[in-house]
Structure 1
Amino acid sequence: MSEHIELTGTVPASCNGKRLDQTLAELFPDYSRSRLKNWITDQCVKVDGKLVDKPREKMITGMTVEVTAELIEEQRFEAQPIRLNIVYEDDAIMVINKPAGLVVHPGAGTPSGTLLNALLHHYPAIDQVPRAGIIHRLDKDTTGLMVVAKTLPAQTHLVAAMQEREITREYEAVCNGAMTAGGHVDEPIGRHPTKRTHMAVVAMGKPALTHYRVVERFRNHTHLRLRLETGRTHQIRVHMAHIRHPLVGDITYGGRPRPPQDASPELLAYLRGFKRQALHAARLSLHHPITGEWLSFDAPTPDDFVELVKLLRADRNAHAEE
């Protein structure tokens, strides 16, 4: 199914000399730049009555721009009554606290039972928004905050804000190894050259920057607070593994149990049984896409993460007394 779209506008003085794709983005902000660019190259745009298929075509004040296109409906997914932990909701956005084990989007091996299916059940009109309003993802076993757009204008603005790094995302993690200080990892990330389901630091990858600071040190582990400048797939996990401090529980990137010497049986058992990466999206801050209000949300650290830190702290304290 598809929806027929007809848009008309006049090039304003502010767009004099600008490219056609830039002008369309200013005239019709409810649609993403990539969608508008595709409409140009698909010959859906006329300027002063003539078809123009070059996004770089220069515009002159007063020109008439017409867009006649089909808004193709994306693949339809089933709405499912899956419980959501909604931290905030209004007419434009939702902020979700995602639990461990919940996949964000249907894909190979997980055709249903995802956050997207839950969103369709909670707010059926969200099926009119690309990817049901999902702006960014968290890995299946990463917990914490995500923002979701409920309308097309909200989605367009949030995607642009994400690209411009105007959405702040802070994480908590526990990594292997006792780190001495905070810092940052500025290394490009791309698909692993031989393991196609893995990501890696590769020379031809996309730019990726992760900041981290030490919250608490243990004998052979470190509790970290991290902030993303970019949002590459598995970014924190890959960057921490790259500097030889993989996250606890992250078997994919080398986070196998590394208990400190003479650890208690309780800590040994807990580290061996910790079956997910110790990573939590703790804070999300952004300008509201419609009102412009600055919003900031915090999600409490999940119980398994809290228990991990508690046991590591007890281990450190016990051995400090020896």
Structure 2
Amino acid sequence: MSEQISLQAEVPLELGGKRLDQILAQLFPDYSRSRIKTWILDDKVTIDGVILNIPREKLLGGEMVAIETEIEAPREYEAQHITLNIVYEDDHILVINKPADLVVHPGAGNPNGTVLNALLHHCPEIANVPRAGIVHRLDKDTTGLMVVAKTIQAQTHLVKNLQARDNFTREYEAICNGTMTAGGKIEKPIGRHSTKRTHMAVHEMGKPAVTHFRVAEKFRAHTRLRLRLETGRTHQIRVHMAYLNHPLIGDQLYGGRPRPPRNATPELFAQLRDFKRQALHAVRLRIAHPITGEMMSWEAPIPEDMVALTEALREDTKANPDYSL
């Protein structure tokens, strides 16, 4: 299964003197530069009917350029009838509210039963889009909003905006261990942990990572936060909060073991003991629609387990007005 691509255009005179790959990227912005370069090298591009396979070749302007190719469907995964909580959908994108305990993409130990498998069942034509249109991921036990592209064009524009940190805003709600006094910005690179291969860590040789956070509510020994991602590294919020010695409640990978304060109410003690996932929820998503350019925004209600945990923290704080730990 593949998608046929047939594109034609006249090179504007004002683009004369530019390289072929640069011109094609401007003429056909629905496709990434890397994809266009591959088409050039694979003899899929003609200039005035003659194949030109040199990306750096400069054109004069006024030429007729044509691309005739096809996009092969990526590796086949099984379509599975898995219920998705879809909060928005049109011909180009869909936005879902992901529950806990649902992996986004198949991988080692999770060959199926993922968001990707569910997308293939809900929208079979999405099989022609790389990664079934998945633009950004949430960890298995992180809940909340994700946008998915239903077409290659939509995916290209969303990825460009995400990489450029332009018109793509992701906000999270989290509850961490320890009392934080003020918000701020964490700007520390993240890379694979040197010895624990399933862990990420702040590492000077890692990729740039920036997380903004503010205090939403303080409790005796915990803090509710609102966070905004400027970059999107694997486990970014979890790693950055652990780096500040404020790991997320329930995050067993990064040190978020239960830490009930002294004289904790029975309700709080039980909530902390039984909270088995990181207390992290993608609460708000704001993007420019990849086709229309319209700014769109969605919010996902805080999940019941985090609501119950927050209420137990509030009641515990009320029961201990002196904040003694």
Which interval holds the TM-score relative to the shorter structure?
over 0.9
Name the residue aligned to 2:91.
Answer: 91
Give the superposition deviation at 1:144. Answer: 0.3
SS of the residue aligned with 2:214? strand
Post-superposition Cα deviations, 1:199-252, rounded to whole Å, max 9, x if no partner, equal 111112111110000000011110000001111111111111111111111111
1:237 aligns with 2:238: yes
Give the superposition deviation at 1:53. Answer: 3.2
Name the residue aligned to 1:181.
Answer: 182
Name the residue aligned to 1:252.
Answer: 253
SS of the residue aligned with 1:320? coil
Name the residue aligned to 2:71.
Answer: 71
How many Å separate the matches in 1 of 2:188 and 2:78? 39
Post-superposition Cα deviations, 1:267-319, rounded to whole Å, max 9, x if no partner, equal 12221211100000000011111222111100000000001111111111111
**Which residue identity is paired with 1:208?**
A
How many Å separate the matches in 1 of 2:19 and 2:200? 36
How many Å separate the matches in 1 of 2:152 and 2:6? 16
Give the superposition deviation at 1:6. Answer: 4.3
Name the residue aligned to 1:302.
Answer: 303
Give the superposition deviation at 1:3. Answer: 4.7
**Which residue identity is paired with 1:255?**
G
* C-alpha contact (below 8 Å) 2:43/2:51 kept by paired residues: no
* C-alpha contact (below 8 Å) 1:211/1:227 kept by paired residues: yes
1:121 aligns with 2:121: yes
* C-alpha contact (below 8 Å) 2:82/2:113 kept by paired residues: yes
What is the TM-score normalised by the length of structure 2?
0.93
Give the superposition deviation at 1:97. Answer: 0.4
Name the residue aligned to 1:201.
Answer: 202
How many Å separate the matches in 2 of 1:37 and 1:194? 37
Give the superposition deviation at 1:168. Answer: 0.6
* C-alpha contact (below 8 Å) 1:182/1:213 kept by paired residues: yes
Give the superposition deviation at 1:63. Answer: 3.3
* C-alpha contact (below 8 Å) 1:42/1:53 kept by paired residues: no
SS of the residue aligned with 1:21? helix
Name the residue aligned to 2:289.
Answer: 288
Shift in CA distance, 120/180, structure 1 to aligned 2, threshold 3 Å? same
How many Å separate the matches in 1 of 2:145 and 2:14? 38
Q: Gapped runs of 5+ residues in structure 2?
A: none
How many Å separate the matches in 2 of 1:276 and 1:117? 23
How many Å separate the matches in 1 of 2:43 and 2:193? 37
* C-alpha contact (below 8 Å) 1:11/1:64 kept by paired residues: yes
* C-alpha contact (below 8 Å) 2:260/2:272 kept by paired residues: yes
Q: Gapped runs of 5+ residues in structure 1?
A: none
Give the superposition deviation at 1:40. Answer: 3.0
Give the superposition deviation at 1:17. Answer: 3.5
SS of the residue aligned with 1:207? coil
Q: Which range is displaced more, 27-36 or 76-85?
A: 27-36
Name the residue aligned to 1:170.
Answer: 171
1:132 aligns with 2:125: no
**Which residue identity is paired with 2:25?**
A
Shift in CA distance, 198/59, structure 1 to aligned 2, threshold 3 Å? farther
SS of the residue aligned with 2:30? coil
1:266 aligns with 2:302: no
**Which residue identity is paired with 1:195?**
K
Give the superposition deviation at 1:71. Answer: 1.7
What is the TM-score normalised by the length of structure 1?
0.94
How many Å separate the matches in 2 of 1:14 and 1:247? 54
**Which residue identity is paired with 1:211?**
H
CA RMSD of aligned residues (A): 1.8
SS of the residue aligned with 1:285? strand
How many Å separate the matches in 1 of 2:147 and 2:294? 15
Give the superposition deviation at 1:180. Answer: 0.5
Shift in CA distance, 267/107, structure 1 to aligned 2, threshold 3 Å? same
How many Å separate the matches in 1 of 2:65 and 2:174? 50
